[in-house]
């Protein structure tokens, strides 16, 4: 809502417009009341955040307006700066126009409105991105006119890598390369662009690009002409800035921040605040801090015309750090300050401040160790500017602006690699290039060395390079020693406890590390570990992307593992990892017990209990912990499966319900394989029986034969133990496996046995799960009334148990039945109730299934675009979780949507993919549905022979699997195809069988549709 009001640019917005945009054209019945509630909350939040600087007013009934000063809203500031830049350029003040445009660009913080998926947001986002593109292109044009071509090459290469078909960007890059003495690269760029345009778009380059190409071929000297800026400053001044590397690439956002602050000095000076503009660029070793500072320094030369000074303070260089007194001597000498050099540091600092007090100078203090080293070197006037680089944060510098420098973006990293290695060898393999830069973690120093090495290996290609990186036992082996040395210098500066923590943290296999995990690895109390974590953060040996969750860069982890292997004995490393495994196992066991109280769990062996693992207060806290630690738990469990049989035997059981919720079927199967093997080896038959049941649960829908074997073995073990509860669990999984294998009648009988045992042991959750699977079996048999009765009973049980996960499934199942009955409003009602509960739980598989089902409702009610958006989200989720069954279901739904909109080729593609996946997991129901979809498309396309063959295959599968509704659909398809082929008697034969089956299944809509079709052809269709 705030986005809509801001985008109105101060104009009133009607309530109808707000509702339409907030709910994407489909406001609920309660939208107006909800809108008023949202407005009230928005007013409260604005008041708490900015007071009366921004207010939501109601100028008249039904109209709402955001009132705020134009300078308080970035969108309006952006427009104002753009207008002022245009005026400055018209006056010939190109430098001023460039500064205004850079300030406008600095207001951007990523893609606008990216968190909103509605149609209005997409339209507004397109317009804003176009405005941003035009501003950037105008600024680049002006900078080219000013002769700053060499400085623009890196930025333009990054833009070209992002959009290789943007002809204006290509023109600017060709011109910049030509003016920089690189005409060969300019011509290679044109050839590559020409090929892309003709191959992918079927068009020739535009007139402007072709003309520029011709002029470069002729070596037109007029292309080298630039314009003098009317406000350019030409006075000579001290300048000892080192040369900027020609390979500097990217960092556009960081440069905009540094350059947009250039007016701070004048502003603070005019206002009398005497605040020195001071920026600390801090980041991990080798990330490009010095290169960025120097690039900014060259951009700022005209803003600070009285001198540009550079001092390397040698904090991490293998040499003694530069003493502040010596640094002051160097600065005074470079400034040509008159008079003798004072002896004491205080006198030198005073003389430096006195000299700078009357001037506008830029000072770059590179590679600083701490604040004490920097403080004496600061100028004495707010008209100056200081940029400091350090691997530490230098929090002791009062008034400093902090600029954290992360690794390059994927696009920037690819542009840097291309620039160094040469575009000719990389232009045809963008995917491999992305993989290579990802393998380097987008680290600039690593990329520079690797690209330089690649450039001088003519026989290599990117795939060979990628193989080397993947196969290296130690990733640092593939890089120059300078990469490891950069980390080693920072490591040497750490205290002993911080060094030990750094080494042990590298043993953690997950993506991030908490304080609890760190204490487990070290075996220490939390207080000293927290102190050492802060030390590692300050030195950028770790990152903290989320509060209290710490992360290595890939190369930092590789160095940590290297140094850990050198310093720590194998026994110490094994003990640390065992403590970590015990911590995660204990915490998971405790969390699962609270989050899933109805599930029966085995106790942890005493030797695996980790006393310091967290204890959770309630189910919500436990559920949140499991969700947050998901990636770490999977990583730790997989490593334990490979390295620690005692832990491998226990992790899948502790994670059983979570593995299902997360939909990580491939990983779950891998973990259960290791657990079953470990339990057989140590002869723990009770744990083996429980694990076999859980393994069958994971396999039932994908490998039902193997699931049946697991459940059968578990049943025999539980019968041997005289455990009726365990027998019920095993029978439930047998029933699920029978159903997945197309044996619906056997499944129903097996589930009746399981349900009776659950009632005997008074397990209402188990009874509800039996009702769930029975409902599915009846649903597949076309007995919708009986299925609905089972699902309603299931819902009642889960509501009595206050089991949200069970309610999600029951409500979804009720929606599916109502959908099949053509009652789409009711179906959507149940799906949305289920979705609201699923979103609270964050269960990926459930959310993906609901996306699929809601998409089917949208498709049935004529909203194909919304349906396809739902299907695509579901497909991405199922594929990410390796959920083949879910993938099949979505592909069939997408095929149906494409077929309904007469997009036959896309429909056939999706049905064919679904059939292949269903065949791979031996799922008869889904394969039969996919074949029906393929047959329908072939019939609609006039390929009647192919359609008949596919319908016959679908009929055979349905009859074998005892799937009467599928048989009816296949017979109806055969009848329709026979009519189109002119085989009237055959059409009557198939049609009458289909109508009879539909009638027995209470599918009256389908029966009446087919009956009418036959009647139109003079066939009665009894």
Hey, where are the domains in the chain? Answer: 1-68, 148-228, 252-260+275-404, 410-471, 482-568, 942-1021
Tokens standing for residue 705: 């034969």
Q: What is the pLDDT of residue 1019?
A: 65
pLDDT recorded at residue 841: 66
Residue range 908-917: average pLDDT? 92
| 665-704 residue pLDDT tens | 778 889 999 999 999 998 999 999 999 999 999 888 667 8
pLDDT computed for residue 482 by the predictor: 65
Q: Report the pLDDT averaged over residues 210-239.
A: 74
- Range of lowest pLDDT (254-268, 404-418, 911-925): 254-268
SS3 label, residue 282: strand
Q: What would the mean pLDDT of 820-849 be, rounded to a whole number?
A: 85
Question: For the segment 740-769, what is each residue's pLDDT rounded down to a tens digit?
Answer: 887 888 999 999 999 999 999 999 999 999
Q: What is the pLDDT of residue 919?
A: 86
Q: What average pLDDT does the segment 880-901 reach?
A: 86
For residue 513, give the nearest of 559, 545, 476 by alpha carbon: 545
Q: Quick one: how many helices (H) and strands (E) in the chain? A: 49, 10
Q: What is the pLDDT of residue 299?
A: 84
Pairing of strands 278-282, 308-312: unpaired
3-state secondary structure of 56: strand
Q: Let me know if the fold of 1-68 is the same as that of 482-568.
A: yes
| CA distances (Å), origin 268, targets 262, 276, 383 | 11, 8, 8
What CA–CA distance (Å, rounded) separates 873 from 881? 12
Token digits for 542? 């770790």
**Long-range pairs for 498-504 at CB < 8 Å and ≥24 separation?**
498/532, 498/535, 498/536, 498/539, 500/532, 501/529, 501/532, 501/533, 501/536, 502/536, 502/541, 502/542, 502/560, 502/563, 503/560, 503/563, 503/564, 503/567, 503/568, 504/564, 504/568, 504/576
pLDDT, tens only, 56-87: 888 888 888 888 877 678 888 888 888 888 88
Q: Which of 290, 538, 274 is nearest to 395 (CA)?
A: 538
For residue 270, pLDDT over 50 is answered with no
**Secondary structure (3-state) at 618:** coil
Instruction: Using CB atoms within 10 Å of the CB of residue 115, give its burial: 0 to 12 exposed, 13 to 18 middle, 19+ buried.
Output: exposed
* C-alpha span between 284 and 476 (Å, rounded): 16
Q: What is the pLDDT, as a whole number, of residue 499? A: 94
**pLDDT mean over 986-1009:** 85
Q: 697: phi > 0 → left, psi -120 to 50 → alpha, else beta; which?
A: alpha
Nearest CA to 379 out of 293, 320, 306, 297 is that of 306
Name the E strands within 821-916.
none
Give the Cα separation of 298 and 294 in Å (integer).
6
* pLDDT tens digits for range 571-630: 999 999 999 999 999 999 999 999 888 788 899 999 999 999 999 998 888 988 998 899
**pLDDT at residue 268 is higher than 50:** no
Residues 241-261: what's their mean pLDDT? Answer: 81
Parallel, antiparallel, or unpaired for β 278-282 and 401-404?
parallel
| 1-68 maps to CATH 1.10.10.10 | yes
Confirm or reject CATH 1.10.10.10 for domain 482-568, answering yes or no: yes
User: Across-strand partners of 402?
Assistant: 280
Residues 913, 871: contact at Cβ < 8 Å? no
Percent of all residues in the chain with a pLDDT value above 90, rounded to a whole number: 36
Q: Give dist(CA 628, CA 638) in Å, integer.
A: 17
Q: What is the distance between the alpha carbons of residues 781 and 759, in angstroms, rounded to a whole number?
A: 26
CB burial readout 232-255, b (16+ within 10 A) else e: eeeeebbeeeeebeebbbbbbebb
The residue whose two tokens read 């530490």 is: 392
Structure-token pair, residue 726: 């365990």
Examine the pLDDT at 854 and tell me if it is beyond 90. Answer: yes
CB contact set of 915 (below 8 Å; sequence gap of 6+): 927, 930, 931, 934
| pLDDT score at 427 | 55
pLDDT at 210 over 70: yes
Q: Are strands 13-14 and 54-57 parallel, antiparallel or unpaired?
A: unpaired
Task: Give, in words, the CATH class of 148-228.
Answer: mainly alpha
Quickly tell me which residue has 């006037």 as its tokens: 381
| Tens digits of residue pLDDT in 714-729 | 999 999 999 999 999 9
Answer for the pair 104, 135: CB distance below 8 angstroms, yes or no.
Answer: yes
Reported confidence tier of residue 487, pLDDT bands at 50, 70, 90: confident
Which pLDDT value is given to residue 232? Answer: 46
CB 504 within 8 A of CB 562: no
- For residue 52, give Cα distances in angstroms to 8, 43, 57, 71, 74: 19, 10, 11, 14, 17
Q: Which residue has the tokens 């139109």?
A: 1016
| The two structure tokens encoding residue 485 | 């040395």
**DSSP result, 558-570:** HHHHHHHHHHS-H
Reported as a pLDDT band with limits 50, 70 and 90, residue 162 is confident
Kindly report the number of other CB atoms within 10 A of residue 905's CB atom: 9
- d(CA 750, CA 266) in angstroms, rounded, equals 83
Query: DSSP string of 623-646?
Result: HHHHHHTHHHHHHHHHHHHHH-HH
The phi and psi torsions of 1001 (rounded to 5 degrees) equal -95, 5
Q: Residue 759 is encoded by which pair of tokens?
A: 């009632």
Query: pLDDT grade, residue 259 (50/70/90)?
Result: confident
Q: Which of 742, 709, 714 is nearest to 726 (CA)?
A: 714
How far apart CA 646 and CA 257 sit, in angstroms, is 53
Question: What is the dihedral sign for C-alpha 188, 191, 197, 203?
Answer: positive
Q: What is the pLDDT of residue 84?
A: 86
Neighbours of 136 (CB within 10 A): 20
By C-alpha distance, which of 804, 808, 862 is closest to 831?
808
Rounded to whole angstroms, the Cα distance separating 536 from 557 reads 13
pLDDT tens profile 130-149 = 888 888 888 888 888 888 88
Q: Are 823 and 808 in contact (CB under 8 A)?
A: no
CATH dotted code for 252-260+275-404: 3.40.50.300
Spatial separation of the C-alpha atoms in residues 230 and 91, rounded to whole Å: 9
Structure tokens at 790: 């089972």
User: Do 124 and 110 touch, CB atoms closer than 8 A?
Assistant: no
Instruction: Tokens 């739904």: give the residue.
Output: 893
**Where is average pLDDT lowest: 425-429, 557-561, 641-645?**
425-429
Average pLDDT, the chain: 86
Range name among 365-369, 467-471, 840-844, 913-917 with the lowest pLDDT average: 840-844
> What is the radius of gyration, based on Cα positions, of the chain?
34
pLDDT score, position 228? 59
pLDDT at 21: 86
* Other CB atoms within 10 Å distance of the CB of residue 1015: 11
Look at residue 889 and tell me whether its pLDDT is greater than 60. yes
Least confidently predicted of 425-429, 616-620, 700-704, 825-829 = 425-429
Compute the average pLDDT of residues 76-104.
83
Pair of tokens at residue 173? 């890059």
Give per-residue pLDDT as tens, 311-320: 999 887 667 7
Dist. CA 429–CA 6, nearest whole Å: 42
Say which residues have a Cβ less than 8 Å from residue 339's Cβ, sequence separation at least 6.
351
Which two three-digit tokens encode residue 909? 């593609």
CA distance 33 to 208: 55
Q: Could you tell me what percentage of the chain is helix, strand and coil, using 3-state DSSP and rounding each to the nearest 5?
A: 70, 5, 25
Of the candidate ranges 57-71, 528-542, 766-780, the one whose mean pLDDT is the lowest: 57-71
Contact 531, 500 (CB under 8 A): no
Q: Give the list of residues 6+ apart from residue 902 with CB closer than 8 angstroms, or none.
A: none
d(CA 589, CA 573): 24
Q: What integer is the mean pLDDT of 841-853?
A: 80
The structure tokens listed for 885 are 């069954």
732 within 8 A of 773, measured Cβ to Cβ: yes
- Work out the pLDDT band at 50, boundaries 50, 70, 90: low
pLDDT of residue 647: 95
Take residue 644 and report the two structure tokens written for it: 């620690």
Residue 478, pLDDT score: 60
Task: Give dist(CA 676, CA 695) in Å, integer.
Answer: 9
Instruction: Name the nearest CA neighbour of 880 among 845, 852, 911, 841.
Output: 845
Query: What is the per-residue pLDDT for 266?
Result: 38
**Is 506 in a helix, a strand, or coil?**
coil
């Amino acid at each position: 809502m705030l986005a809509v009001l801001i985008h109105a640019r101060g104009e009133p917005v009607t309530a109808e417009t707000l509702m339409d945009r907030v709910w994407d054209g489909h406001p609920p019945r309660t939208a107006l009341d909800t809108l008023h509630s949202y407005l009230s909350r928005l007013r409260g939040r604005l008041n708490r955040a900015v007071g009366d600087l921004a207010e939501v007013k109601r100028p008249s009934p039904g109209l709402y307006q955001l009132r705020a000063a134009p300078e308080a809203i970035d969108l309006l500031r952006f427009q104002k700066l753009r207008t002022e830049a245009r005026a400055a350029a018209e006056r010939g003040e190109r430098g001023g126009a460039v500064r205004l445009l850079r300030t406008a660009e600095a207001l951007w913080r990523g893609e606008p409105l990216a968190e909103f998926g509605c149609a209005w947001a997409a339209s507004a986002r397109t317009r804003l991105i176009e405005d941003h593109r035009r501003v950037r292109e105008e600024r680049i044009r002006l900078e080219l006119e000013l002769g700053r071509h060499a400085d623009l090459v890196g930025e333009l290469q990054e833009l070209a890598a992002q959009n290789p078909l943007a002809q204006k960007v290509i023109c600017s890059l060709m011109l910049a390369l030509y003016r920089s003495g690189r005409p060969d690269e300019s011509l290679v760029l044109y050839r590559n662009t020409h090929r892309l345009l003709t191959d992918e778009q079927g068009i020739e380059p535009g007139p402007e690009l072709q003309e520029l190409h011709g002029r470069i071929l002729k070596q037109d000297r007029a292309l080298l002409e630039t314009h003098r800026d009317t406000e350019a400053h030409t006075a000579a001044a001290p300048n000892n800035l080192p040369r900027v590397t020609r390979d500097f690439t990217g960092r556009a956002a960081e440069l905009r921040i540094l350059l947009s602050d250039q007016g701070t000095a004048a502003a603070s000076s005019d206002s009398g605040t005497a605040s020195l503009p001071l920026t600390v660029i801090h980041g991990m070793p080798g990330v490009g801090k010095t290169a960025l500072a120097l690039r900014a320094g060259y951009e700022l030369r005209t803003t600070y015309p009285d001198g540009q000074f550079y001092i390397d303070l040698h904090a991490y260089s293998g040499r003694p750090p530069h003493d502040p007194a010596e640094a002051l001597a160097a600065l005074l000498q470079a400034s040509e300050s008159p008079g003798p050099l004072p002896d004491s540091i205080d006198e030198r600092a005073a003389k430096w401040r006195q000299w700078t007090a009357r001037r506008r100078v830029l000072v770059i203090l590179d590679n600083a160790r701490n604040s004490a080293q920097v403080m004496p070197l600061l100028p004495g006037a707010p008209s100056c500017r200081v940029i400091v680089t350090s691997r530490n944060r230098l929090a002791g510098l009062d008034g400093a602006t902090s600029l954290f420098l992360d690794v390059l973006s994927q696009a920037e990293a690819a542009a840097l690699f291309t620039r160094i290695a040469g575009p000719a060898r990389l232009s045809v393999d963008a995917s491999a290039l992305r993989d290579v830069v990802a393998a380097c973690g987008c680290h600039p120093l690593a990329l520079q060395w690797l690209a330089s090495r690649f450039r001088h290996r003519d026989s290599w290609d990117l795939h060979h390079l990628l193989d080397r990186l993947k196969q290296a036992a130690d990733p640092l082996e593939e890089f120059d020693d300078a990469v490891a040395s950069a980390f080693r210098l920072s490591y040497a500066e750490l205290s002993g406890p911080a060094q030990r923590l750094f080494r042990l943290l590298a043993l953690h296999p997950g993506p991030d590390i908490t304080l609890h995990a760190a204490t487990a690895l070290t075996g220490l109390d939390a207080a000293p570990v927290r102190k050492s974590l802060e030390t590692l953060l300050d030195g950028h040996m770790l990152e903290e992307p989320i509060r209290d969750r710490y992360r290595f860069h890939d190369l930092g982890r590789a160095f940590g593992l290297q140094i850990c292997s050198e310093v720590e004995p194998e026994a110490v490393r094994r003990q640390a990892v065992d403590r970590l495994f015990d911590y995660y196992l204990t915490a998971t066991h405790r969390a699962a017990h609270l989050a899933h109280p109805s599930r029966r769990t085995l106790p942890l062996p005493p030797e695996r209990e980790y006393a310091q693992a967290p204890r959770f207060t309630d189910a919500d806290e436990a559920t949140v912990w499991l969700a947050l630690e998901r990636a770490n738990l999977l990583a730790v469990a997989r490593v334990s499966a490979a390295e620690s049989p005692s832990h491998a035997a226990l992790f899948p059981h502790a994670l059983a319900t979570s593995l299902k919720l997360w939909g990580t079927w491939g990983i779950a199967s891998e973990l259960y394989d290791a657990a079953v093997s470990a339990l057989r080896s140590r002869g723990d038959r009770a744990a083996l029986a429980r694990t076999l049941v859980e393994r069958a649960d994971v396999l039932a829908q994908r490998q039902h034969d193997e699931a049946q074997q697991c459940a059968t073995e578990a049943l025999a073990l539980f019968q041997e133990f005289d455990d009726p509860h365990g027998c019920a669990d095993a029978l439930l999984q047998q029933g699920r496996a029978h159903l997945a294998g197309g044996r619906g009648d056997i499944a129903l009988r097996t589930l009746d046995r399981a349900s009776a045992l659950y009632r005997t042991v008074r397990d209402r959750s188990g009874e509800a799960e039996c009702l769930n699977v029975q409902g599915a079996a009846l649903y597949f048999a076309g007995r919708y009334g009986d299925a609905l009765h089972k699902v309603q009973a299931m819902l009642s049980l889960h509501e009595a148990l206050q089991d949200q996960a069970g309610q999600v499934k029951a409500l979804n199942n009720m929606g599916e039945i109502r959908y099949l009955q053509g009652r789409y409003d009711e179906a959507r009602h149940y799906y949305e109730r289920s979705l609201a509960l699923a979103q609270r739980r964050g269960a990926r598989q459930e959310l993906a299934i609901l996306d699929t089902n809601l998409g089917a409702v949208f498709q049935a009610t004529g909203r194909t675009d919304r349906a396809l958006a739902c299907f695509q989200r579901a497909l991405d989720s199922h594929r990410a979780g390796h959920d083949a069954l879910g993938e099949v279901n979505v592909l069939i739904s997408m095929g149906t949507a494409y077929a309904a909109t007469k997009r036959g080729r896309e429909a056939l593609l999706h049905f064919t993919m679904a059939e292949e996946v269903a065949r791979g997991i031996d799922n008869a129901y889904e394969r039969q549905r996919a074949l029906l979809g393929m047959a329908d498309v072939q019939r609609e396309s006039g390929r009647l022979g192919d359609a008949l063959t596919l319908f016959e295959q679908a009929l055979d599968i349905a009859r074998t699997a005892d799937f009467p509704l599928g048989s009816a659909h296949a017979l109806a398809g055969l009848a329709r195809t026979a009519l189109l082929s002119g085989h009237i008697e055959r059409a009557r034969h198939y049609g009458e069988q289909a109508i009879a089956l539909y009638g027995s299944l209470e599918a009256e809509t389908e029966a009446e549709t087919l009956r009418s079709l036959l009647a139109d052809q003079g066939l009665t269709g009894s």
